[in-house]
A and B are shown apart, each in its own frame.
Chain A
Amino acid sequence: MYSKRIYAAWFGIHFFLLTAVCFAGVFWLIAQGSTILPSAFDEYARKAEFVATWCLGKEAGGSNPLRRGIATYLHAAGIQAGYSFFAPNVPNQHRLTFELFYDDGRVEQQSPHVRSKAAALRLDSLLDKLADERYEAVREVLVKMLAFSVWRQHQDVKKLRATFASVNPPDINEFEQGKRETFQPMFTFDFSLRDEQKQ
């Protein structure tokens, strides 16, 4: 009986946290205005998201032991993120292209690449995160790292220009009419061996 109570308590806490994580994710989507719900819901969704994130201790200070304890548990159990994959809509794909400028005036184009298809899927996931405003703080660092990975294979390059673009696919009717994907540049970075600057 005693052990059943412990199991039941764990069950309650575990699924309470999972509920908070899941609904924080759904309310965030609504608050962003990316759903079919009218914009009148945005404000309520923001408040509801605040309640859900408060339950997860995310409103406490970064060094708060309860917040850290909950975050550690959520990560250990793999339930730190909600389950709104490809929802509410399938996001645009993103592409990162590097222009390599050589000393002799040659210009080549390259993309960051990996060997296996499984890793290519992960690279794609990284590129999608780069477009997300929540990753803006680390965007430049990440592009610099990716540029460095390309530069290591082309060490005689003088300058590297990274262009990050959103790929807009045609809808099914446009595709039938012969239209193909279009690229919308989002940001560009110039890197040289000594310094780098954002354009």
Chain B
Amino acid sequence: MLKLPGSQINAGVSLVQKWWQSFCGFLFPPETDTWLAALRIGLGLQVVIYALFLRSDWHYLFASSGKGLVGREVGEAITSFDSPLIPTLGWLVTIGRNFNISEEAVLSIAWICLLSAGCLLLLGLFCRPAAFVAWFVHLCAGESGGLLAYGADSFMTTALFYLLLSPLPDHYSFDHWVAKTKPRNPQALGFWRRVIQVQLCFVYFIGGLAKCLGNGWWDGSNLWRALIRPPFTVVPPDVLVRFKYALPVLGISICLLEVSYPVFIWMKKTRLIWLVCILAMHAAIGLLMGLYLFALVMIVMNIAAFGVISNTAPPQRAMETDAQ
């Protein structure tokens, strides 16, 4: 049997301890809650706009078969094939039926809850319950209308999921002002900010990598196709033709910007450039393609993750707060 000398074991243990400490240093940097306030306010606005944009079609999109566009049953059946534990609007309708509440009334209540949760998040009142209601109702709607969902929905679910788990309330909220809540653990705040930062790195790296694998992003034809594709046609093709030589440059820039995001967003010297470019890209997607919700949620996540400069608490104070 192989026997390791004690000194080698000690060296191995201290190496693991060193690695663990540096990993903890990365995962739990002390942070203030300014970024959390930005995320809460941004997502509150996002939820309010989402609810208001869908106000006139809410019942039509989520009603059962025979009343709505395609009926939510098909979407719910596909979701339950993945797992019957995923919440859907059908759950709420079933609960409502037990209290003799009609399907239409349940859908209206769900919409009102979503709008109210968005407003409460904006104000910072009942932050945690509001974040839970917004996440849950949006998830139910997203899963029931899964066939009608697009990228903005999954980003909204993710952002609301992280907001729900983050150490709310922040000190800019009404909750803090009214209840005089204790300051949150700076390392817990740092951890949840890290989660969003790493999430965004995944989003852009995978998005950029997949784009790099398509020939249309290298010659600009994908940008042309994306911009003239109804219902995204905000700029008339006749106007777009004038910029035909800029399209390949822009296409390649988008690929490189996204795929290199996980590297350059962490470097202090390049962070601002990458952040501004990414925000400009999302603003352009919102304005030129009409994908307002998608643009807003990405801008909010980027600002919360990398845009807000936090005055990080000195390590000693952070440790004291952690011990408390």
User: Which residues does A use to contact B, with CB under 8 Å?
Assistant: 4, 7-8, 11, 14-15, 18-19, 22-23, 25-26, 29-30, 34-37, 62, 67-69, 71-72, 75-90, 93, 112, 114-126, 129, 135, 138, 141-142, 145-146, 148-149, 169, 171-172, 175-176
Considering the complex of A and B, which 9 residue pairs feature the smallest CB-CB distances, nearest first?
A: A88-B214, A78-B157, A87-B210, A84-B210, A78-B158, A118-B53, A119-B57, A35-B213, A122-B148
Q: B290–A117 contact, CB under 8 A?
A: yes
* A135 contact set on B, CB distance < 8 A: 147
**Which of B27, B188, B202, B226 has a CB less than 8 Å from the CB of A90?**
B226
Indicate which residue in A85, A115, A124 contacts B57 across the interface (CB closer than 8 Å).
Answer: A115
B258 shortest CB reach to chain A, Å: 9
Residues of B within 8 A of A81 (CB): 154
With contact pairs A8-B23, A75-B82, A169-B228 given, residues A138 and B213 touching in the complex (Cβ less than 8 Å): no
Within 8 A of A (CB), among B114-170: 139, 142-143, 145, 147-151, 153-161
Q: Chain B residues near A124 (CB, 8 Å)? A: 230-231
A148 x B23 contact (CB < 8 A): no
Shortest distance from the beta carbon of B132 to any chain A beta carbon, whole Å: 12
Closest beta carbon of chain A to B185's beta carbon, Å: 9
Report the minimum CB–CB distance from A38 to chain B (whole Å): 12
In chain B, positions 44-84 with a C-beta closer than 8 Å to chain A are 53-57, 60-61, 65-66, 68-71, 74, 78-79, 81-84
B247 contacts the other chain (Cβ, under 8 Å)?
Answer: yes
- Hey, which chain A residues are within 8 Å of B188, CB to CB? 7
The answer to whether A85 and B70 touch across the interface, beta carbons within 8 angstroms, is no
B65 and A87 contacting across the interface, CB-CB below 8 Å: no
**With an 8 A cutoff between CB atoms, is B307 at the interface?**
no
Seed contacts A4-B28, A88-B210, A88-B217; 19 additional CB < 8 Å A-B pairs: A4-B187, A23-B206, A25-B210, A35-B214, A67-B83, A78-B159, A80-B154, A85-B151, A89-B225, A93-B229, A115-B60, A116-B54, A118-B53, A119-B54, A121-B291, A125-B149, A145-B71, A148-B66, A172-B241
Q: Is the beta-carbon distance between A145 and B65 smaller than 8 angstroms?
A: yes
> Which residue of B83, B153, B160, B213 contacts A87 across the interface (Cβ within 8 Å)?
B213
Query: Does B286 interact with chain A (Cβ within 8 Å)?
Result: no
Q: Does B222 contact A (CB under 8 A)?
A: yes
A122 x B150 contact (CB < 8 A) = yes
Whether the pair B206, A83 counts as a contact (CB closer than 8 A) is: yes
> Measured between alpha carbons, how far is A86 from B209 in the docked complex, in Å?
12
Cβ–Cβ < 8 Å partners of A86 in chain B: 211, 222, 226
Partner of B161, one of A35, A78, A126, A142: A78
